[in-house]
Copies of this chain bind each other. A is one copy, B any other.
């Protein structure tokens, strides 16, 4: 059902400085950047490796675009660090329904648009041993605009 670690979401105060840290320290390059106004974040995706299900694993660096966004509030409370983890699936709707039926709270009624045109939802961290957990179905690679 869930076939890869899709990404690790890392909250930061200054996206450009954090991108530069990952480039200078490890050689990781930016694969994609975007602003997601609904989520209130400016983000950079760093592709780390490809995965056995035909996808890839990324670091997702997140800077809030407003203080009252979820990431903005989280940063004010926790400081910089790992904000969430994301598993990739071919069927985010089916996976979310299955997981909801097991009593885990799914935060959206329907998946929303995430990075690179993906469809995403989140699971409540209190139901997941403290880990804010995202489910991701990538956009059709033949239609994705990178």
Using a CB–CB cutoff of 8 Å, the interface residues on chain A facing chain B are 1-5, 8, 10, 12, 18, 21, 24-28, 48-53, 57, 59, 79-82, 85, 87, 99, 102, 104, 125, 128-131
Residue pair A4, B49 in contact (C-beta under 8 Å):
yes
The CA of A59 and the CA of B81, in the complex, are separated in Å by 18
Residue pair B24, A102 in contact (C-beta under 8 Å):
yes
Number of copies: 2
Consensus secondary structure, chain A interface: mixed
Residue pair B129, A3 in contact (C-beta under 8 Å):
no
Residue pair A131, B80 in contact (C-beta under 8 Å):
yes
Residue pair A8, B87 in contact (C-beta under 8 Å):
no
Contacts of A80 in B (CB 8 A): 129-131
Please give me the residue from chain B that is nearest to A79 by CB atom: B130
Also in contact, A27 and B1, with CB within 8 A (given A85-B82, A129-B10): yes
Residue pair A27, B4 in contact (C-beta under 8 Å):
no
CB contact between A5 and one of B1, B5, B87 (< 8 Å): that residue:
B5
